[in-house]
Amino acid sequence: MRSTSVRRLRPDSIRPDPLTDALETNHMPLTNRPQYSTLTQFLIEERRRFPSASGDFNALLLDVALACKAIARAVAFGELGGMLGQHAAQAGGCVNVQGETQKKLDVLSNNVFIRRTEWAGNLMGMASEEMDLPYQIPAQYPRGKYLLVFDPLDGSGNIDVNVSVGSIFSILRANRDAADSRRDVTEADFLQAGSCQVAAGYALYGPTTMLVLTVGNGVNGFTLDPTLGEFMLTHPQMQIPADTQEFAINASNARFWELPVKRYVDECLAGKTGVRGKDFNMRWIASMVAEAHRILMRGGVFMYPRDSKDATRPGRLRLLYEANPVGLLIEQAGGRASTGEVPMLGVRPSSLHQRIGVVFGSRNEVERIERYHAEPARSDADKPLFCERSLFRN
Ligand code: F6P
């Protein structure tokens, strides 16, 4: 019989210990924890860099964080909360503006974002994946100078199978005249390039709930302490390594990809024996927010490129509330975000729910993909994707 080197615990070595006791009784030993800053403390310290700031911005971010905590709780209850499954048509429609079926939690999360942020006088308006038109702040509340754009529950196709989902948000400054006039917001107010974002972030509802945030000064990650109900700064100044051996793409779309994408993926798949000279690993969670988090933690490249699957859709992901906020986070962490051809954050949006090809992650890989797009088309014979060994031959 083949011997194994796996070491197992001996039954007599499993003794009671204070940490296991604490975990079982739901009390983490506070004394063992490092003294992390809270999100509130972090925001107050950031604000000290801007002595003239009114505090509206911080107040808005704390309201967004509270919305994320409420959604985290709803997600965590799963079936017990009665919130899984499709949204009932009679309760406001079951297909969103994208033509996608809405889940109960999509609708609930959208409402939570609105209710938690509309009242405080910090917002001029909101836009969301789940709403056809911009949301007007109700007349009983004051209006403010910021615009909030969000995807309340990204990856919601994964909810029913208990795989990580998240909320993505972006904060823009409203045009000054518009903010002063207190008029209703229009679609045009939101059509600002990603480089205009004053903050962006996401909450990831995974094994732990995390809030990852940029206010334009790097990227900071906070872990929700469920006993305190506070986001604690556990991942200060996150940085994406420039190189990677991991990529993420929905390979079932391979026959619709453009040649530069096929070439890149083929070279990765060729591994050590190909032009890259190293093996690559592939991942696909189908929750962009979870893939972005993995890349922020350990590098990698994510692609949902423009393809020929549906001529009416120049890409799958949405520019204003998916690609731009994640793009800003990635760039603030030293990575790169692109359409494949041009920097994502420079794209001038043309409509609220615009879709776009997305490539982001480790800087050197994204630049390579951009180079492949920029290079004049080579003759088929030169292209590894047409070699015999290609996995993605048409
Ligand atoms: O845009 C929503 C989303 O769920 C993303 O989070 C994810 O990357 C993508 O769609 C998954 O798409 P597909 O179903 O093609 O894998």
Name 3's Cβ contacts closer than 8 Å, sequence gap at least 6: none
Quote the pTM value.
0.89
Q: How far apart are the C-alpha atoms of 118 and 178, rounded to whole Å?
A: 17
Burial status of residue 311 (CB atoms within 10 A of its CB: 0-12, 13-18, 19 or more): exposed
| Residue nearest atom 2 in ligand 1 by C-alpha distance | 155
Q: Is the dihedral of CA 116, 220, 357, 307 positive or negative?
A: negative
Burial 29-39 (b: 16+ CB within 10 A, else e): eeeeeeebbeb
Structure-token pair, residue 13: 């070595």
With a 6 A CB cut-off, is 287 part of the ligand 1 pocket? yes
Of all atoms in ligand 1, which is nearest to the CA of residue 250?
A: 16
Q: How far apart are the C-alpha atoms of 317 and 313, rounded to whole Å?
A: 9
With a 6 A CB cut-off, is 166 part of the ligand 1 pocket? no
- Token look-up 């190909």 returns 274
Residue whose CB lies within 8 A of the most ligand 1 atoms, among 98, 106, 129, 154, for a mutation test: 154
Helix (H) or strand (E) holding 167: strand 165-173
Distance 289 CA to ligand 1 centre (A): 9
3-state secondary structure of 69: helix
Of all atoms in ligand 1, which is nearest to the CA of residue 253?
A: 15
DSSP state of 147: E
Amino acid at 246: E
Distance 81 CA to ligand 1 centre (A): 25
The 3 state secondary structure assigned to 276-335 is CCCCCEEECCCCHHHHHHHHHHHCCEEEECCECCCCCCCCCEEHHHHHHHHHHHHHHCCC
With a 6 A CB cut-off, is 317 part of the ligand 1 pocket? yes
Of all atoms in ligand 1, which is nearest to the CA of residue 289?
A: 6
Tens of each residue's pLDDT in the chain, 394 residues: 455 566 777 777 777 777 777 767 666 655 556 789 999 999 999 998 888 888 999 999 999 999 999 999 999 999 898 877 777 754 555 666 666 778 899 999 999 999 999 999 999 999 999 999 999 999 999 999 999 999 999 998 899 999 999 999 999 999 877 777 778 999 999 999 999 999 999 999 999 999 999 999 999 999 999 999 999 999 999 999 999 999 999 999 999 999 999 999 999 999 999 999 999 999 999 999 999 999 999 999 999 999 999 988 989 999 999 999 999 999 999 999 999 999 999 999 999 999 999 999 999 999 999 999 999 866 444 444 444 444 444 3
Give the strand pairing for 146-154 and 123-128: parallel
